[in-house]
Structure 1
């Protein structure tokens, strides 16, 4: 994909959202290099069409970068009849509001690209999974971006992620789901998606009702929300953290919990998962040193998924641990984790092993 924008910073938030859907390059209007050797599959325009000079510049940019049959999705900052007509006049295949929900953005791009599986059931399932996870990742980007900038957690984005991940987990083998998740370079998105995908699959495996599956997935999506307030140099540090950095990082459960309590609107089980997913049954965890019955079942599930996800993540500075070795690590943790749930989780692990 190619994003053409008139924002001098390249609109990194939008570029990040699009990059989670599929590989995306950005050019800044008026500062384009020579035409690319290959045409993009789709052009996304983020330009102020209320300015005559921007309209003409965009027309020229499209002539330079767009193929004859390449779809052009125009994102309008002001969704008016005038701007929609202007977008169509310069060749827009489709128009959307610039603040359209992630699910609608993903659906529109998939429709324009014709990603439907061509009638083959396996391909259709894979296409559905990719679309659902792209929706979830783009929604996560909205959620984490809002929190990082000090705004409230956008619950609409949370629910879009929950719905998309839960549907993908129900329609696909967890191995197919993980293959898509592993393609994300950003470790924050990769970890959030891994934990949520594993948790959703775990809930399916345990035979939870639809409502309870969504509750578990919601807890997983939000469990690390406090990390959005952790400095990036600590969050993305390659290698081990020093003692001071570790202390900052260990503050993320309380940061997330307090933020969500202030905002309101979430069930106690979700808040408990955010605050207590680093607690262990033997009392050796943090931040509260909870033990045994003080730790609820959903927290226990999220903790198992969180640890397992961290072990199998694909990072540039370390290879992922093989699924069977990662599961063995869970078993070796003994009384720290719920033994019955760890045994039940093995069936999820066997499916991840097929994707490794």
Structure 2
């Protein structure tokens, strides 16, 4: 995918959103073009078509970089009849307002690419999974970005993520889901998406109702929301944290819990998962040292998914643990985790083994 923009900074927010869907190169008008290893499957334009010079520059860029048959999605900063006509005049396949919702942007790109319509059902399933998870990741990005900037948690973005992840988990194999999640470079999104995908699959495995599955997935989506307020130097440190950094990092469950309590609108089970997903049944966890019956079932499920996700994550400074080894670590944790749930989770692990 190629994003062509006249913004001097390359519009990193839009590039990040597009990158959640598939690899995205950026071309700033007037600058040297990025070297492409293969033809771009789609071009997304973010250019002020109200300026004549920008229109001509975009026309020339399309002539140089648009391969035959490649769709061109034009994002209009002013959605007027005049700009829409101008966009079509220079070859736009489709137009959307520049502030279109992430879900609409993802859906439009997938429709333009027409993936899964070539008679290959497997490809269609993976394409659906990618689209759903890209929608979830974009909504998750909105959520984390909003919280990092001191704003309330956008509950609509949370629900968009929950809905998309639940649909992806129900429509495809967890292996397909994980392959898509592992393609993300941002480790925060990768971890949140991994935990949410695993939790959704776990809910399906246990035969939960639709509403209960969504409850578990919602808890998983929000479980690390407090990390949005942790300094990036600590959050993205490529290696082990020192003792002082560990103290700061261990504050994220309480930060997230207090934030959501103050805002309101969430069920107690979700709030408990945010605060207590690092608690263990033997009382050795944090922040409250809870034991046994003090820890609810949904918290127990999220804790298992959280630990397993951390073990199988692909990071530059450590290789991922194989699914069977990661599951073995869960078993070795013994009385810290719910043994019955760990045994039930093995069925989810067997499916992740196919993606390793």
Fold shared per TM-score above 0.5: yes
Q: Is residue 2:330 matched to residue 1:330?
A: yes
How far apart in 1 are the matches of 2:150 and 2:89? 39
How far apart in 1 are the matches of 2:168 and 2:38? 32
Q: Is residue 2:39 matched to residue 1:39?
A: yes
How far apart in 1 are the matches of 2:218 and 2:203? 12
Residue 35 of structure 1 and its aligned partner are, at CA, apart by: 7.7
Residue 3 of structure 1 and its aligned partner are, at CA, apart by: 0.5
Residue 99 of structure 1 and its aligned partner are, at CA, apart by: 1.9
Retained in 1: the 8 A contact 2:282–2:336? yes
- The residue aligned with 1:75 is 75
Residue 80 of structure 1 and its aligned partner are, at CA, apart by: 2.3
Residue 185 of structure 1 and its aligned partner are, at CA, apart by: 1.7
Retained in 2: the 8 A contact 1:35–1:65? no
- Given the two structures, how large is their TM-score scaled by the length of structure 1? 0.96
How far apart in 2 are the matches of 1:195 and 1:36? 33
Residue 2 of structure 1 and its aligned partner are, at CA, apart by: 0.5
- The residue aligned with 2:191 is 191
Residue 51 of structure 1 and its aligned partner are, at CA, apart by: 2.5
Q: Against the structure 1 CA distance between its residues 37 and 162, is the aligned structure 2 distance closer, same or farther, given a 3 Å change threshold?
A: closer
- The residue aligned with 1:5 is 5
Q: Is residue 2:90 matched to residue 1:90?
A: yes
How far apart in 2 are the matches of 1:10 and 1:304? 40
- The residue aligned with 1:344 is 344
- The residue aligned with 1:156 is 156
How far apart in 2 are the matches of 1:56 and 1:245? 52
How far apart in 2 are the matches of 1:315 and 1:268? 33
Residue 75 of structure 1 and its aligned partner are, at CA, apart by: 1.1
Retained in 1: the 8 A contact 2:26–2:34? no
- The residue aligned with 2:203 is 203
Residue 82 of structure 1 and its aligned partner are, at CA, apart by: 2.4
Retained in 2: the 8 A contact 1:260–1:271? yes
Residue 121 of structure 1 and its aligned partner are, at CA, apart by: 2.3
Query: Which range moved further: 205-214 or 269-278?
Result: 269-278
Q: Against the structure 1 CA distance between its residues 264 and 85, is the aligned structure 2 distance closer, same or farther, given a 3 Å change threshold?
A: farther
- The residue aligned with 1:122 is 122
Deviation string, structure 1 residues 94-115 (Cα, Å, up to 9, x no partner): 0112222222111111111111
Q: Is residue 2:53 matched to residue 1:56?
A: no
Residue 37 of structure 1 and its aligned partner are, at CA, apart by: 7.1
Deviation string, structure 1 residues 297-342 (Cα, Å, up to 9, x no partner): 1111000000000001111111111111111111111111111111
Query: SS state of the match for residue 125, structure 1?
Result: helix
Q: Against the structure 1 CA distance between its residues 35 and 323, is the aligned structure 2 distance closer, same or farther, given a 3 Å change threshold?
A: closer
Query: Which range moved further: 65-74 or 189-198?
Result: 65-74
Residue 57 of structure 1 and its aligned partner are, at CA, apart by: 2.2
Retained in 2: the 8 A contact 1:170–1:201? yes
Query: SS state of the match for residue 355, structure 1?
Result: coil
Residue 36 of structure 1 and its aligned partner are, at CA, apart by: 5.2
Query: SS state of the match for residue 96, structure 1?
Result: strand
How far apart in 1 are the matches of 2:318 and 2:37? 34
- The residue aligned with 2:287 is 287
Runs of 4+ in 1 over 4 A off after TM superposition: 34-38
How far apart in 1 are the matches of 2:230 and 2:320? 24
Q: Against the structure 1 CA distance between its residues 280 and 35, is the aligned structure 2 distance closer, same or farther, given a 3 Å change threshold?
A: closer
Query: SS state of the match for residue 315, structure 1?
Result: coil
Deviation string, structure 1 residues 251-297 (Cα, Å, up to 9, x no partner): 11112112222222211111111111111111111111111122111
- Given the two structures, how large is their TM-score scaled by the length of structure 2? 0.96
What residue ranges of structure 1 are gaps of 5+ in the alignment? none
Q: Against the structure 1 CA distance between its residues 79 and 252, is the aligned structure 2 distance closer, same or farther, given a 3 Å change threshold?
A: same
- The residue aligned with 2:253 is 253
